[in-house]
Amino acid sequence: MSLVDLRHGFRDENQLRLTQAIVMDRLADDREQEECRVLMKFWWQLAMTYREVTEADLDLHVSPAKREAVQELIDAIRNSPEAIDAWLANTPRRFPTVQDRGYEAHRSRVSRTDDDVAADLARAGLEFIERMTTEVSYPLPASGQGPASCTSEHGRFDSEPHEIVHVDDPDMPAKVNAAWWRLALEFGLLDERQEFLLTVDYAGLDADESEGCWVRVRLADAWDLAGSGSASLRSHFAAVFTERFVPEFTMLSTDQKMVLNTTVWGDATVSTIVVRPDRITSAAG
């Protein structure tokens, strides 16, 4: 049976986003790359009315337990929004959040130093100032909810359609940089000193677990986030689609009123989103 009708079964955009978040965060694990590729096509299929994936693809490439969960979701979508609510409540109990992407399983147990991180970020035109030791809070609606799970009612603002770029587009670095710069300026990422906060993984190569930290950085006059090759800015999920360097990172304004996320999506595109709740009213006006 075709899956192109799934988009119409959700109560609203928020329910769709929550469902996609569970598929991405609980089911898609890029240590199983073929399965991950098919599940991310299914993630995209939930929002599209043209064919991205078939049930035969799911049968062939997805493990039995996850295939069962996916089928339960398909059945729920075709039943009612209330059935989808039940799936949203029950599925996280069966599948923990995927903490270690494929790259993380090969990282060293030796943490990087501040000097290591500073040298790496300098390649992108980011001056390392300090590792944050005080508490940092996201302007997000719920603990554990990422920017990609937010909707416009939470203060989410997306890249324009022409700013969304495929990972293998020859102009990908320039387009990603331009979209990042526009959104960073429009929504106040940089303070008066051109500073902001950035999440960095301090775990060294071949570590079993990530070691995420917030660092304060300053944007240099010359910068290139998307073409720098900086390990701290690299998307490891993008390895499912391409061998080239693709950026993925999360940034926060120093007043912690906005969060910016440049991310790779399941259709192999890159875009930047912002969540800034205090701009909802002004945006509507």
Q: Do 46 and 169 lie in a common domain?
A: no
pLDDT at 107: 43
- Ranges of the chain whose pLDDT falls below 50: 101-109, 282-285
pLDDT at 106: 43
Domain carrying residue 224 = 104-284
256: left (phi over 0), alpha (psi -120 to 50) or beta: left
pLDDT digits (tens, 9 = 90+) for 186-231: 999 999 999 999 999 888 665 556 788 999 999 999 999 999 999 9
197: its two tokens = 């906060």
3-class DSSP state of 10: coil
pLDDT at 110: 63
Q: Do 156 and 199 lie in a common domain?
A: yes
In sequence order, which residues have a C-beta less than 8 Å from that of residue 143 and are 6 or more positions away?
none
Q: Do 194 and 265 lie in a common domain?
A: yes
Helix residue spans in the chain (DSSP H): 13-22, 33-45, 55-61, 64-79, 81-94, 114-122, 172-186, 280-284
Q: Do 194 and 60 lie in a common domain?
A: no
pLDDT at 12: 85
Output the average pLDDT for the chain: 88
Q: Do 116 and 92 lie in a common domain?
A: no
How far does CA 207 lie from the centroid of its chain? 22
**Spatial CA neighbour of 121 closest among 236, 215, 28:** 215
pLDDT at 239: 87
Q: Do 155 and 279 lie in a common domain?
A: yes
Q: Is residue 236 part of a domain?
A: yes
Last residue of a domain, one of 98, 119, 138: 98
Q: β-pairing, 269-275 with 259-264? A: antiparallel
Enter the pTM of the model: 0.63
Last residue of a domain, one of 52, 78, 98: 98
Alpha carbon distance 134, 146 (integer Å): 21
Alpha carbon distance 273, 88 (integer Å): 24
173: its two tokens = 């670095």
Q: Is residue 14 part of a domain?
A: yes
Partners of 273 in beta bridges:
158, 261
Q: Do 14 and 77 lie in a common domain?
A: yes
Q: Do 146 and 228 lie in a common domain?
A: yes
Q: Please say whether the beta carbons of 188 and 96 come within 8 A.
A: no
Q: Do 138 and 255 lie in a common domain?
A: yes
Alpha carbon distance 282, 273 (integer Å): 18
Tally of structural domains, the chain: 2
In sequence order, which residues have a C-beta less than 8 Å from that of residue 144 and are 6 or more positions away?
none
pLDDT digits (tens, 9 = 90+) for 1-18: 689 889 899 988 888 888
Alpha carbon distance 285, 280 (integer Å): 9
Alpha carbon distance 97, 198 (integer Å): 22
Q: Do 71 and 139 lie in a common domain?
A: no
Q: Do 157 and 37 lie in a common domain?
A: no
Q: Is residue 253 part of a domain?
A: yes
Q: Do 88 and 210 lie in a common domain?
A: no
Q: What is the dihedral of CA 119, 125, 131, 132, to 10 degrees?
A: -170
Last residue of a domain, one of 98, 124, 157: 98
Q: Is residue 1 part of a domain?
A: no
